[in-house]
Structure 1
């Protein structure tokens, strides 16, 4: 059995193939490009043009390495490599090609993008990533955007090890047999990946410092990097670490001028926007920013002060555009100082109106050719309530040092909402015990007669039920910690792989068959032979011993063979199907929250169904061969499915590494019953992503803007016991 198991594993897994790195890089580049092109279209980053944010190197000398360490050509003819040398780089998000060219000319191609809230740091990183991909040569690394908040520097001290782990999870195609199991570590370890690490500020301060130190330890002379962070958090992190990001250029945004903001809004409006918009745009252009206004003249020279300050950031400009450029919207309140005396009050108003505006602007559609429209229309108050709960829930999570998290992982809902309380686990175990016991007991009674079934079936059913209930009750606690699994059931272009998977598991099945045959037919019947061979007179032991052994081997070994075949062949079938389904195809797309949810659901249902089928076949084949083909098959068909269903449920729930979908079902049922979330949470989140309220990075959802997250969390009423039903907003 051990030899067969090892042989099946060796044959089932592809060894690393030399010379596949170039193929893997091209495949990864295609996946990343499609992933972020779709996300950029959903975010309307180029509609009608990118917001023209200007970027430059910061004045603060402590934020950036010496200019000569970044680019020797940046040093001035005279003087030290500092001071004026720090003004050598200026760029604009509207001219991303020039920025990418300047990035490529730096010594080690390392860049840190800083800025305050809503200044377009992630947007610039995505724009740069897409342009680098579009103009990439074969010898250049593939830029891959990753959430730096997911990097545990204690578990993965080296950046490359963490990148390899994320590549295999976010891009399953890299695990295809055609490429080999070691492709992702090779890509990450040999400089073929340009990590674009987003959101250093989302980590707690000690973790930010640990990331700075780990980056400097991990980056070699040729390793490239792009990192985004809020300026305040980055400054504190490098101060605590006592070190900079070696050889990394640093960019900070300049405020959008009122004229630039007005020009962008003009391009988003119809050619004749109407007098209200013309007056608003005129007032905006005539309002200088606060740091450009002479003292004492604010009231005279700043007719649209709050609007000018708000639209100085890409976030504020996007909010104004989204809420007020819709047909029929009246922009007059935007310049009303009595209603919105500050940019903060105006931003809060726009965040309140964002959900209704997006729902009205994007009506639902079931047409697959319209991926940026929701599948179902929901009331804005409901959406606000449900998203508010999620925002508040993420903010109050203790998992990241008490400061919460920005990442919404669907498989973590059960753990973070404490779904599996002792009462829940006991209730679930009791239900599975009763239902399984009843099913097996009825099957026994129907198979062997009513009288026998009532006596024997209750005992058998209770035994089966206790096994299932005990197994599920003991393992439900661990479900909430399971990560999502993977299963691909598409047969197109994968039929040959299925046949190979079944063939490689056949030796294991035959080994199990022979082992069971030996155990049942030889060991068990050897004891029978001994019993029948022992006479009352112990002196006759030796003469009768061979006859007893012969009887046991001749007449009962057939039973062992029957049982062995009944166990081994279905086992090979189940293992072959599971191994085939767990092998990604080289054409598989990048992982998204919805795709990870679907594949984990598929894995759990496949595990349940294949186990049920295998055990049902085992009982049917065994009874058929042991008791005769006619009666045995009848008994097997009557008794096998019930027992197979019972054990299939046990194996599907109690065994395996990935039961995130089961945990998700429990968590969302309880949260929906309490009124915190809808019953179908993932379709709801998918619609919010289509609306532009959420964004995706790998298998995680995030609110499109951290300010939206914080606003919804702050304005959501406090939640109490999730087990009590609450009225939903109407």
Structure 2
């Protein structure tokens, strides 16, 4: 529909609405002038009808008369680049906490079977230092197709290098260059999204607040991705199931166009196996690998970070490391993670380093486990680098390291059991309450959660009848609406913060969906209503009712609706998604449902009284009230099955798990604090352990061993 035609239709609807409202106002004034009493139910009905008519009209007017041309592609890219940079610059700052960059050397892989022909990748060899910003960005831009695979073993700094590179590319980006966007490969199912572009566009909508248009056609997110305006930074090929990795390599080769750029991270062996099984290397991609840190470089890094008046114990430890008397320490500091662990556990805490060169001098595995064990109390004890109250580095609370270790171990085991290293808050409580070998939580927990969510969602619809003495109707609505909503609602959260206007529009459309066939002839609905009202109250009242009913139903069905998908209209990015933002959005959505449920319950209570009077019944006719309540409540329970209850289900399940010590009562506060301390990182709506080796270490530790090791 053209914009001019839409505006004409909206203007006509507005005029009809004003005529209908005017007729109602005249009716009220005439009745008052004649000395008649205006019944409270009639007044409330007029008010609710007016609101139900005006709200969709205003929403549609705002959409239909929205001024301004679609957003420019360059502007959309600029906004996206700012969101990505701000989000990941904060992640990098939380991770580093003021620590200098570790100078890990990188070079082209010597495994020629994992990389395309050298002449198709770059001119000359590639080697440099990860701490050299100029080399890193220049090397990537010098690649023939700007495709890079970062490989390496555990703890070699693959993800750190990828994040550093994407920040540099954004900071030095020209308007023609694509915007680097990091995404976790663990979320890509090539069976659902065979094309990289389709999956990446979906992640743009989810992670950066882009509203999906009506229909399933291409939209602005597809525009950016398919035209090469987005550079995907695909992290963690090795975190996919082994059988899925070759499919990702094959999908990339099939869907990447000549101009498409990509950055991929993976452990070396896993990437090599995936390439071998797929039968093809990633076309045109340079594959780089790290070199082990030289002991002299590691000693220099630790020395520079120590105070000038360092203790004699540090002198002895560094000498033992240099002379080969502490081989385990020398081996640990040959990787970026090991060097960072020594710095965090010992230098930042001011701890005595003697055990490094004595107790753990010759046992590399024991030293690694010791450093990982001490990492949690070390990070919890670390003071924030900024003193302000709004500091993103400052945790909300002080946590007991023993409990933190136990809870993180549980999260690691739960994610491992589901084949991932990701932590989704909307799945944690359900997974923790599910006995081993089962797919659903135990019945006591499941029944408790459904009952409480039913009370939460059903109470607003039941309050008005209960408050006016219609207890059977209120209880019937409470049971049917609440239990139906709780049992059939989705456990998947909404990944955007809905506005009140959008929520009201969606609610109205959901309520009328079952009656769509009956509304095919909208005037056929308004005319009988007008005739009946005119016969009972008078001509003008009938005209007003007919006009208001017709216009209101028409507006509800025809608008306001989400905009049509438009591939030529660049998306308007609003915010970078975080797990806390998803939590707050679903909390807000629950609040909106409660408010609208209260309004809906009020409407039902008033409507029930009016219907009973027209049927010749008395207010005390409980049987008819009960029947009407069950009918309407059952309908509502059916049409609200698309509602989301992830927030409510999590909140109501946590007290049971907290009582047994399995999870903290304030789960999101805990996860957010672990993110701020550097133990977790936020990737879109999910949390991940910042170090895969820490995740694997915690997943292998039993709760009893965890308790004894920390204490």
Q: TM class by shorter-chain length? A: 0.7 to 0.9
Equivalent in the alignment of 1:391: 412
Q: Deviations over 1:92-150 (max 9, x none)?
A: 10113212212111110011111000000001101111111111111111111111111
SS in 2 for 1:590: coil
Does structure 1 residue 413 correspond to structure 2 residue 417? Answer: no
Root-mean-square deviation (CA, aligned residues, Å) is 4.8
Does residue 321 (structure 1) correspond to residue 343 (structure 2)? The answer is yes
Match of 2:377 in 1: 356
Distance 1:382 1:568 in 2: 60
- Using the size of structure 2 for normalisation, the TM-score is 0.76
Q: Which has the higher contact order (CA 8 A, sep 6+)?
A: 2
Please say if residues 388 and 715 of structure 1, whose CA atoms lie closer than 8 Å, have aligned partners that are also in contact: yes
Distance across 1 between alignment mates of 2:61 and 2:191: 32
Instruction: Give the Å deviation of 1:610.
Output: 2.5
Structure 1 segment 49-88 matched on structure 2, within 5 A:
49-71=100-122, 73-74=123-124, 88=125
Q: Secondary structure at the match of 1:259?
A: helix
Shift of residue 420 of structure 1? 5.4
| CA distance in structure 1 between the aligned counterparts of 2:585 and 2:462, rounded to whole angstroms | 34
**Structure 1 residue aligned with 2:131, among 82, 94, 107?**
94
Aligned to 2:95: 43
Change (3 A) 1:432 1:7: closer
Q: Secondary structure of 2:222's partner?
A: helix
Q: 1:136 aligns with which of 150, 168, 173?
A: 173
Aligned counterpart, 2:365: 344
Superposition TM-score, scaled by structure 1 size: 0.74
After TM superposition, the structure 1 = structure 2 runs for residues 223-372 of structure 1, keeping only pairs within 5 Å, are 223-284=260-321, 286-287=322-323, 302-336=324-358, 338-362=359-383, 367-372=388-393
- How far 1:466 moved relative to its partner? 3.6
Structure 2 gap ranges (5+): 1-8, 14-55, 435-439, 564-569, 615-624
Residue 168 of structure 1: which of 205, 212, 227 is its match? 205
- Does structure 1 conserve the Cα–Cα contact (< 8 Å) formed by 2:107 and 2:126? yes
Q: CA shift at 1:393, angstroms?
A: 1.0
- Among 670, 674, 684, which residue is 2:656 paired with? 670
Equivalent residue number for residue 590 of structure 1: 576
Q: CA deviation at 1:344?
A: 1.4
How far apart are the structure 1 equivalents of 2:454 and 2:595? Answer: 19
Equivalent pairs, count: 622
Choose 1 or 2 for highest CA Rg: 1
CA contact (8 A) 1:55 1:251 kept: yes
Mapped to 2, the partners of 1:424 and 1:649 lie a distance apart of 27
Which of 680, 686, 689 does residue 694 from structure 1 map onto? 680
Match of 2:476 in 1: 463
Gaps of 5+ in 1: 75-87, 288-301, 398-403, 448-452, 491-496, 527-549, 629-638, 720-725
Q: Distance in 2 between matches of 1:438 and 1:611?
A: 8
Say whether the 8 Å CA contact 2:529–2:542 is kept in structure 1: no
8 Å contact kept, 2:326–2:357: yes
Q: Is the CA contact 1:432–1:465 (under 8 Å) kept in the aligned structure 2? A: no
Equivalent residue of 1:378, what SS?
A: coil
Contact 2:60 2:560 (C-alpha < 8 Å) held by counterparts: no
Show the counterpart of 1:23: 75
Asked if structure 1 preserves the Cα contact closer than 8 Å seen for 2:109 and 2:288, the reply is yes
CA contact (8 A) 1:441 1:459 kept: no
In 1, are the aligned partners of 2:233 and 2:262 still within 8 Å (CA)? yes
1:421-443 deviation line (CA, Å, top 9, x unaligned): 55555556666778999998886
Q: Is the 8 Å Cα contact of residues 182 and 232 (structure 2) preserved in structure 1? A: yes
Alpha-carbon distance in 2 for matches of 1:472, 1:267 = 61
Aligned counterparts of 1:500 and 1:523: Cα–Cα separation in 2: 24
- More displaced stretch, 464-473 vs 685-694: 464-473
SS in 1 for 2:234: strand
SS in 2 for 1:669: helix
Helix, strand or coil: the match of 2:420?
Answer: coil
Q: Once the two structures are superposed, what CA deviation does each residue of 1:150-181 show, in whole Å capped at 9, x if it has no partner?
A: 1111111111111100011111157799xx99
8 A contact 1:612–1:647 mirrored in 2: no
Structure 2 equivalent of residue 377 of structure 1: 398
